[in-house]
Amino acid sequence: MKDAMRQLLGKHILACLSEIDNNGRVLRRQEFHGPLIEYRGKPALRHAGSKRPFVLPDELGYYRKADLDRDYTLEESGETISAVDYTLTFVKVPPEFANQPDDARATA
C-alpha cells in the first residue's frame, strides 16, 4: 500500500463500483462501506457475504472527503449510513474500452 494511503486506514469509506457495457449502460452497481483496511498490501473494505475483502484503488486522488454531517442511502439495500469520511466512485469498463481515451468511450 502506498504511504499516502496509510493515512486513510481505519477511516469510514463509501465505495461505489458501476460496471458498464459497450454502450455505456450500467449493468451492475455495487456499494460497499466500512473502515479501510490493508489486505495483501492493498487498500480494501470488508463486506458482508464475502470471505475476502473488496480491494480498492491505491491512489489517494480517487478518494473524496465526505461531508461528515451527511447521511447516504445505498441504492441496492436502501440502508442509510452516516459518519462517512471518504467516498470513492469508479467504473469498470469492458476490456476492449479499457485502453481507449475517455472521448472514444463516450461516443461508443
Does the pTM surpass 0.85? The reply is: no
Q: What is the pLDDT of residue 25?
A: 87
The average pLDDT across 53-69 equals 92
Domain extents in the chain: 3-94
Distance between CA 14 and CA 81 in Å, rounded? Answer: 9
Query: In whole angstroms, what is the distance from residue 86 CA to residue 106 CA?
Result: 27
pLDDT band at 64 (very low <50, low <70, confident <90, very high): very high
> Residue 103 is inside which H or E element, if any?
helix 102-107
Summarize the confidence of residues 79-84 as an average pLDDT. Answer: 94
- Is pLDDT above 50 for 21? yes
Does residue 70 contact residue 84 with C-beta atoms inside 8 Å? yes
The answer to whether residue 23 scores a pLDDT higher than 90 is: no
Grid cell 500500500 is found at 1
pLDDT of residue 102: 52
